[in-house]
Structure 1
Amino acid sequence: MREGGKRLRRLGFAAVFMLAASATQARSQGNPACGVPAALGDGWIIDSSESVGLDSARLCAIAARLKETEANVHAVVIVRHGKLVFEQYFAGYDEPWGQGGGQHDFDATTKHDMRSASKSVISLLVGIAIDRKLIASADEPAVKFFPEYAAVKSPGWDQVTLRHLLTMSSGMQWDENRGWKDPRNDEPHLSIEADPIRYILSKPIAKPPDTVWTYNGGGTDLLGNIIERVSAKPLEAFAREALFAPLGISDWEWMKYRNEHVASAAGLRLRPRDAAKIGQLVLNKGEWAGRQIISPEWIEQSTRPRFQAIGYFSGLFFYGQQWWMGRSIAQEKEVKWIAAMGSGGQRIFIVPDRDLVVMTTSGLYFRPGQGDGALDMMANYILPAVRDNAR
């Protein structure tokens, strides 16, 4: 006790008052150092969560919740009013493309598999191709772009349009809801067939187009190949020039299967804060930093609910043109969102009514409830952290 008194006298009453004030401020702000974004000079305006009307104490409680639920989330990135205001990274199990499974560390500079969130980026690239008149419209017949496969296409393919591929309503007989090693799973054929395009176009059209929704990476694969054909560029080159460079995204990869076929539907790898730029672009109706990258009409078409999407990711969602739509209930209020979703828990949430973008990565591949951690954060922590409900 005497030692403590001596220490107080050495510090002086002024210093003690400053320490107490600092501690009080930290308690009131819920540890303001939590989730502060790194300054990487990548085009983001960085600010504090409090400055954009978010309760930092509530956001700082996310880490404890993730540990409690064992959600294996690797990153949480939050953008509000166009500013990057929160990012946290966590070590955990992951299965990066081509590297096998194991424990990994993550930070603001680490790329992460986007898996099927890649599909939403393909939708944006199709929109850009249409804006540039490389494709007349989404109502063009898909087989028009593959004349050399006329002899192998199954009956009914002439009625399938790009929009049917975008909305996963082509009627193609396709099944991805099986184990990867199950020979009846169509998705692995994209990686092992010498000619995946032939494999896709030879699949029967089992139902009339535009009548039934079936999750289908084969259709996205065709869209990626169409982009290459109309642009006369590899998919990676067109994506770099048309989308990533304008967004200031320089550190990314689009992986290929072992047959050297680009994985249009699942192969994109991005830093989470760069993936959040994709969400902000959609929130801004195709505009970034004063530049219109994609027409607002395409964004509106893509994010309009068209089908009830049942039986793939957990939850009850709607589907547009390679984009998901859903809702959360937060503080007894329904909040609608748009999302890109990928296996393992990769999520880009866009919440127009809250002027909010949330990006999460995770490593719960091929497991039930793989995206529940992200939905839990949205409903119980991030949305309730919004102090004002207006833009």
Structure 2
Amino acid sequence: MSPSAVPAAHGSTWSTIAPAEAGFDEARLAAAVAFAEAHESPWPKSLFYPDGSYVGNREWNESGPWTEIVGPVRERGGPAGLVLKGGRIVAEWGDTNRPDMTFSIAKSYLSVLAGLAVQHGLIADLDEPVGKRVAGPFFESAHNARITWRHLLHQSSEWQGEIFGKSDQVDHNRQIGPGADNSRKGQRREMHEPGSFYEYNDVRVNLLGYCLLQRFRRPLPEVLRERIMDPIGASADWEWQGYENSFVEIDGQRIQSVPGGGHWGGGLFIGARDHARFGLLMARRGEWGGRSLLSPDWIAQMTAPSATLSNYGFLWWLNREPSAKPGVPTGAFWALGAGTNVILVDPQNDLVAALRWIDGASYDGFLAKLYGALG
């Protein structure tokens, strides 16, 4: 198998490669895997604590009128993952086929759907106000009317409003990552000019999903399956669930809008092997087995630093300051979901890693061990 090869469809044998042949120190790579297995996410398997509180509400210090869980929640599995080198499996652990909730990794899938919308002329200009293409009440105010597709993709839109029963205010003053202080989360603050201020806000990402649905006029999971997941040979087991109140009518059809995570339940339920295929497609600049599925220009735009946060692109995290990972190439990027779930893409080393349920505080430690094993 050549270095640029891709695996056969799900159900077929996925080729493996010995660590030494792939340029890894075998003992050090085994130690990286053992580290991932030993440092499991502290989240309860049920995703609910004994007092009945949902992990998301506890994780983000969420209380008040918008905390209701409105999408499905399923018990999670244990630590799992795989590392690919040259498209072949060099390490694998846990149940990598199990379709688990994946939280904000769904945002990066939305980014790819936005790229498909651009590719097919459904979005003509990323800097055009979204309200020019998406009818309805969400962009009628003078403030919201200035919001562009780029703003939504960079999480810098500062959109104000409510969609599917959740207000943008729920994520005001939200922080993420190690040391995050969410003591003021949910307290209303003054709005900035659209495009000038970054805030990680799930309501605004859900708005992006709704807007993409309005452009495709088809269920987004259906578009993703047809244009991306089936062509890359993913399993039939993954699904993307919305909220019980996120159905909209389009051209006489009742269609569920899907969220960019599992903040209030729902989201993308998927296995590590399918995540790894998706990451490999990104590493291959949108090409799979000689067929272009996603424009390489879109992947370049998607992984370029935004003006408001240098380590964030179009709903993907970049290996740049203020949180660059030592020893990891600058061109690496990843999808990240609470729990902690990760798709790491390193085109320079032709390396992809999909991790499920590692302790977030241990992610950097895993990276150090993984790259320490790579010669």
- Kindly provide the amino acid, as one letter, of the partner of residue 241 in structure 1: E
The 1:376/1:218 distance shift into structure 2, 3 A limit, reads same
Equivalence for 2:341: 346
Give the TM-score of the pair, scaled to structure 1. Answer: 0.69
* Change beyond 3 A, Cα 1:275–1:43: farther
Q: Compared with structure 1, are the counterparts of its residues 329 and 308 closer, same or farther at alpha carbon in structure 2 (3 Å cutoff)?
A: farther
Alpha-carbon distance between aligned partners in 1 of 2:130 and 2:220, rounded to the nearest angstrom:
17
More helix by share: 1
Mapping 1:169-184, distance limit 5 Å: 169-172=156-159, 174=168, 175-176=170-171, 177=174
Distance of 2:109 and 2:290 partners within structure 1: 20
Q: Aligned residue for 1:329?
A: 326
Q: Displacement of 1:362 after TM fit? A: 0.6
- The one of 4, 7, 32 equivalent to 1:62 is 32
Partner in structure 1 of residue 92 of structure 2: 87
Gaps of 5+ in 2: 1-6, 43-77, 161-167, 176-182, 248-256, 262-266
* C-alpha displacement of 1:131: 0.5
Larger CA Rg, structure 1 vs 2:
1
Tell me, yes or no, if the aligned pair for 2:221 and 2:240 is still in contact at 8 Å.
yes
1:95-174 aligned at under 5 Å gives the runs 107-149=95-137, 153-172=140-159, 174=168
Task: Specify the alignment match of 2:357 in structure 1.
Answer: 362
Deviation at 1:51, TM superposition (A): 2.1
Is the contact made by 1:155 and 1:204 (CA closer than 8 Å) also made in structure 2?
Answer: no
Partner of 2:3: none
290-299 or 165-174, which deviates more: 165-174
For structure 1, the residue ranges without an aligned partner over 5 or more in a row are: 1-36, 90-106, 187-202, 310-316, 364-369
| CA apart distance, 1:47 | 2.5
Contact 1:247 1:288 (8 Å CA) reproduced: yes
Instruction: Report the AA paired with residue 325 of structure 2.
Output: S
AA partner of residue 154 (structure 1): S
Q: Which residue of 2 aligns with 1:192?
A: none
Residue equivalent to 1:4: none
* One-letter amino acid of the structure 1 residue matched with residue 305 of structure 2: P
**1:252-273: CA deviation from partner (whole Å, max 9, x where unpaired):** 0101223245432010111101
Q: Which residue of 2 aligns with 1:26?
A: none
Task: In structure 1, give the amino acid aligned to 2:237.
Answer: D
Q: Distance in 1 between matches of 2:337 and 2:268?
A: 10
Distance in 2 separating the partners of 1:134 and 1:43 = 37
Q: Is the 8 A contact 1:329 1:335 kept in 2?
A: no
SS in 2 for 1:46: coil
Paired residue for 2:367, among 356, 378, 385? 378
SS at match of 1:77: strand
CA drift of 1:82 comes to 1.9
Distance 1:109 1:69 in 2: 20
- The question of whether the paired residues in 2 share the 8 Å contact of 1:165 and 1:220 is answered with yes
> How many angstroms does 1:57 deviate by?
1.2
The letter for the 2-side match of 1:377 is F
RMSD of aligned C-alpha atoms? 3.1
Deviations 1:120-151 (A, max 9, x none): 0000011011101122122231222432317x
Which residue is 1:252 aligned to?
Answer: 238
1:223 paired residue among 199, 208, 227? 208
Structure 1 residue 84: Cα displacement: 2.1
Cα shift at 1:334: 6.2
The one-letter amino acid paired with 1:86 is A
SS at match of 2:145: helix
Which aligned runs of 4 or more in structure 1 are off by greater than 6 angstroms? none
What's the secondary structure of 1:218's corresponding residue? helix
Give 1:263's aligned residue. Answer: 258
- Please tell me whether the aligned partners of residues 112 and 270 of structure 1 are also in contact (alpha carbons under 8 angstroms): yes
- Give per-residue Cα distances to partners, 1:163-188, cap 9 Å, x unaligned: 1000011123544239xxx99749xx
CA change 1:69–1:120 in 2 (3 A) is closer
| SS of aligned partner of 1:51 | coil
Evaluate the alpha carbon distance shift between residue 376 and residue 335 of structure 1 in structure 2; reply closer, same or farther with a 3 A threshold: farther
More RCO (CA 8 Å, sep 6+): 2
Deviates more, 1:344-353 or 1:138-147: 138-147
Pick closer, same or farther for the CA change 1:112–1:69 going to 2, 3 Å: closer
Q: Residues 77 and 154 from structure 1, CA distance in 2 versus in 1: closer, same or farther, beyond 3 angstroms?
A: same
